[in-house]
Amino acid sequence: MAYAYDTSNIFARILRGEIPNSTVLETEHSLAFRDIAPQAPDHVLVIPKGPYVTYDHFCAAASDAEIVDFARAVARVCAALGVEENGYRAITNAGTHGVQEVPHFHMHIVAGRPMGRMLEQS
């Protein structure tokens, strides 16, 4: 599937320095910052700096260096949050059914309380 990247999305604007963010970690290819509307005591978003819309888009189109950088950034964020003992949830929403609000691939790292079941029954 070909994804069209919207350069006006809010995370693209954060990456261009047009709006502020609460940075947790910055690497060559990735940025991690606190979610503006946290749903747990810790809620961090990890994003690649490249123009990828969803996780599958990123995994298919990003370079090996970007993918490794992103994966290591997630690990460093988890270490910084100290989640090893109590755990965390990593979530990435994609598209309409995934209820993705911001069309720049991001991984939510949420921690600091029990998360409950993964999905509500419908």
10 binds ligand AMP (CB under 6 A): yes
Q: Write the CB contacts of 15 (distance below 8 Å, at least 6 apart in sequence).
A: 31, 47, 49
> Is 106 one of the annotated active-site residues of the chain?
yes
30 binds ligand AMP (CB under 6 A): no
Least Å from the CB of residue 44 to ligand AMP: 10
Least Å from the CB of residue 82 to ligand AMP: 21
Q: Write the CB contacts of 51 (distance below 8 Å, at least 6 apart in sequence).
A: 5, 7, 12, 104
Q: What is the DSSP string of 38-79?
A: -SSSEEEEEEESS---SHHHHHHHS-HHHHHHHHHHHHHHHH
36 binds ligand AMP (CB under 6 A): yes
Among 21, 50, 70, 107, binds ligand AMP (CB under 6 A): 21
Binding mask of the shown chain, residues 39 to 58, with x at each position contacting ligand AMP by CB under 6 A: ------x-------------
